[in-house]
Amino acid sequence: MPTHHRVIIGNSQKMPEIESGSVQLIVTSPPYPMIAMWDEQFKSDPKISELWRKLDVCADEATLRQIYDSMHENLAKVWVETYRTLCEGGIACINIGDATRSIAGKFQLFPNHARIIEVCEKIGFTTLPYILWKKPTNKPKYNGKGAFLGSGFLPPNAYVTLDCEFILLFRKGSLRRFEPKDKQRYDSAFTKAQRDEWFSQIWTLKGTRQTANDIERRTASYPEEIAERLIKMFSVKNETVLDPFLGSGTTTKAALKNDRNSIGYEVDAELLQTIRNKIDSAKVHTLEVVERRPLI
Ligand SMILES: C[S@@+](CC[C@H](N)C(=O)[O-])C[C@H]1O[C@@H](n2cnc3c(N)ncnc32)[C@H](O)[C@@H]1O
């Protein structure tokens, strides 16, 4: 059966193109607060940009904390909209990593996963047991800087490496209801081997190789395997998956391959061609692109 895919070039803090309760699953990964590669994008909010200017002058911890809070306030607007668009019992899967940063010589952890759980619970989501995505490639660091060398074998000043990211899982409302023997649902069943692997808490999977060109590097895309597993675990064929931070289009491609419809939002118009290239697939589908003007 052909599926339908919408890519909206615009800011997902507002998603007027989507009716409330019309999406069955969210699979996404936002820009990570306090990870340097996303600093510039967060600065498109004038309040954050002003706070960075202040930090450059005074280099104080309180201002850094304000920046962190403001970044999460920006993401929270999207989480509110995702809640609205989800159906009763729909699941939101949010891939996020924690961050570390030093200010005036003081090392700090920014536990993004904990902040997103707090925010989503306030919005009304129920937090479900989550997945730890272990990336085997990261090397241990000493004092958050170089690799472990010499003194790295001496206690007590080394830090544990952040070599896991989180795939947070939330549900809106109560469990979804289906007719007994619902055909689409039964057609979407996974195998015992898949269930045993996918529903365990640690997934050891390599990250996407950040080779290719500049455009692909700046999306920090997740592996297709992650999007595919989540889609097969938490949605039924022919349903609709939303990614409010589409990046290079990985979620759309995974939806397409697995007979789900999709909607994706991406604020960076330059990524449209990358998205088109990625989903150029043999499966029958229609692609509708909406370019909002202005993007907000
Ligand atoms: C971590 S990347 C997503 C990568 C994606 N999972 C993939 O596999 O390519 C986050 C993306 O969200 C986009 N973005 C950030 N804020 C946005 C917003 N408010 N609305 C829409 N897109 C946004 C960024 O431009 C970036 O491409």
| Chain segment 155-179, per-residue pLDDT in tens | 888 888 899 999 999 999 999 999 9
| 280, pLDDT greater than 90 | no
pLDDT value for 104: 84
Where does the pLDDT of residue 255 fall: very low under 50, low under 70, confident under 90, or very high at 90 and above? very high
Treating both helix axes as pointing N-terminal to C-terminal, what angle do 61-85 and 46-58 enclose, rounded to 10 degrees? Answer: 160
Residue 221 Cβ contacting ligand 1 at under 6 Å:
yes
| Token pair for 98 | 């924690």
Residue 31 Cβ contacting ligand 1 at under 6 Å:
yes
Residue 82 Cβ contacting ligand 1 at under 6 Å:
no
Which residue's alpha carbon is nearest to atom 12 within ligand 1?
Answer: 245
pLDDT value for 212: 54
Q: What percent of the chain has pLDDT over 70?
A: 90
Better pLDDT: 208 or 274: 274
Ligand 1: residue of 225, 246, 272, 279 to mutate (most ligand atoms within 8 A of CB) is 246
Half-sphere exposure of 180 (CA within 13 A, CB side): 0
Helix, strand, coil in percent for the chain, rounding step 5: 35, 25, 40
Average pLDDT, the chain: 92
Residue 33 Cβ contacting ligand 1 at under 6 Å:
no
Better pLDDT: 59 or 261: 261
Better pLDDT: 137 or 32: 32
| 134, pLDDT greater than 60 | yes
Provide the greatest CA pair distance for the chain: 64
CA 289 to CA 263: how far, in whole Å?
10
Residue 222 Cβ contacting ligand 1 at under 6 Å:
yes
The beta strands (E) that lie in the chain are given as 3-9, 23-28, 86-96, 99-103, 106-110, 126-134, 164-171, 202-204, 240-243, 261-266, 285-291
Residue 79 Cβ contacting ligand 1 at under 6 Å:
no
Q: What percent of the chain has pLDDT over 90?
A: 79
Residue 220 Cβ contacting ligand 1 at under 6 Å:
yes
What is the whole-number distance in angstroms between the Cα of residue 156 and the centre of ligand 1?
A: 38
Where does the pLDDT of residue 59 fall: very low under 50, low under 70, confident under 90, or very high at 90 and above? confident
In tens, the pLDDT along 73-97 reads 999 999 999 999 999 999 999 999 9
Distance from chain centroid for Cα 204 = 17
| 150, pLDDT greater than 60 | no
Which residue's alpha carbon is nearest to atom 26 within ligand 1?
Answer: 247
Query: For strand 86-96 and strand 164-171, is the pairing parallel, antiparallel, or unpaired?
Result: antiparallel
Where does the pLDDT of residue 282 fall: very low under 50, low under 70, confident under 90, or very high at 90 and above? low
What is the whole-number distance in angstroms between the Cα of residue 249 and the centre of ligand 1?
A: 9
Better pLDDT: 138 or 136: 136
pLDDT value for 70: 98
Residue 95 Cβ contacting ligand 1 at under 6 Å:
no
Which residue's alpha carbon is nearest to atom 19 within ligand 1?
Answer: 11
| 296, pLDDT greater than 90 | no
CA 65 to CA 61: how far, in whole Å?
6
pLDDT value for 284: 80
Q: Is the distance from CB of 8 to CB of 265 less than 8 angstroms? A: yes
What is the whole-number distance in angstroms between the Cα of residue 217 and the centre of ligand 1?
A: 12
Rounded to 5°, the CA angle 130-200-224 comes to 75
pLDDT value for 141: 57
Better pLDDT: 283 or 71: 71
